[in-house]
Structure 1
């Protein structure tokens, strides 16, 4: 009685076909990494770079929206914090990293 099926017996000799056999077994793994890079990693890095450039370009008078949803006009720019006027004579300090959007000028007319 034999415990090795014919399918296992046939594939045992084919896997030792040489260096080309080992290369083709890693090809799907390499291909998945390349696809993952172009679909997920590269666009995320591009968004981070755009956000960093937006934060560096913020100046007094710009209108912004924070991650908490507060919209206001920048009155003072510091190294890590920004002072934002959210209503007349109402100012708050916000971390630069909490700013999500730079609005076009004139969007906030009530301030």
Structure 2
């Protein structure tokens, strides 16, 4: 009978809640690590990309996600017209712009 008494959980008034917190502590720490190492930087990068897309204007040199370099000829809500060579214009979705082209690259050979 004494062996069974040791195997039983302590009465609710004697600190049984501390064990629950200690049991969840590793999961809380793992979530915190994932948040600060993965989720937060990804959200920051997405916010910067969205603000870059909102600030596009005529004359900006850009690169698309497909690797196409060009200069913006016109901008509308969802479509951007690029000039990739003399008198060669391409319409692309605004969402498929990877970023501004690095300085020093000649977009129109």
Same fold, TM-score > 0.5, yes or no? yes
Two-structure CA RMSD over aligned residues (Å): 2.1
Matched positions, count: 102
CA distance in 2, matches of 1:85, 1:70: 10
- Partner-residue secondary structure (3-state), 1:76: strand
8 Å contact 1:63–1:108 — kept in the other structure?
no
Runs of 5+ consecutive residues of structure 1 not aligned to the other structure: 1-8
The alignment's TM-score, normalised by the length of structure 2, stands at 0.83
Moved over 4 A (4+): none
- After superposition, the C-alpha distances for 1:18-39 in whole angstroms (9 at most, x for unaligned) are 1101110011011111111001
Aligned counterparts, 1:21-60, within 5 A: 21-60=19-58
Of 74, 83, 86, 1:85 maps to: 83
